[in-house]
Amino acid sequence: MHGHLHKPKPGEELHVTFITKDGGQQTFEVAEGDNILDIAQAHGLDMEGACGGSCACSTCHVIVDPDFYDEIPEPDDDENDMLDLAFGLTETSRLGCQVKMSKELDGIRVALPAMTRNLQLKDFN
């Protein structure tokens, strides 16, 4: 099992909202340094994370709200290679296990890509 989250210090909670495959939204309070994969798994969301967060698969693919995409440190070569293999790649796709929460990302929204349709930017509206 993955999904060991840290407990946010009082007053330092960060917020992340997941848009699930059925279009629902769930917001969680998380601590700085937790990554999107661990957060999703700790809350029972449908994110596989087959390689356990070692950047060797693409099953933790998320589509990031364009308002936050530029706040995330650039993907490294390994992540880019894996993203190339992700189903339904978009311009704001990232690997969830490589995105760590920081103050800059407080309020970030990420969508879980649906296998049955291509998610579009309008899904964030």
The least distance separating ligand FES from the CB of residue 16, rounded to whole angstroms, comes to 16
Site map 27..56 versus ligand FES, x via CB under 6 A: ----------x-----------xxx-x-xx
Separate counts of helices (H) and strands (E) for the chain:
3, 5
The least distance separating ligand FES from the CB of residue 12, rounded to whole angstroms, comes to 25
Nearer to ligand FES (CB atom), residue 4 or residue 11: 4
The least distance separating ligand FES from the CB of residue 76, rounded to whole angstroms, comes to 12
CA–CA gap between residue 42 and residue 64 (Å, rounded): 19
Q: Is the dihedral of CA 33, 35, 38, 43 positive or negative?
A: positive
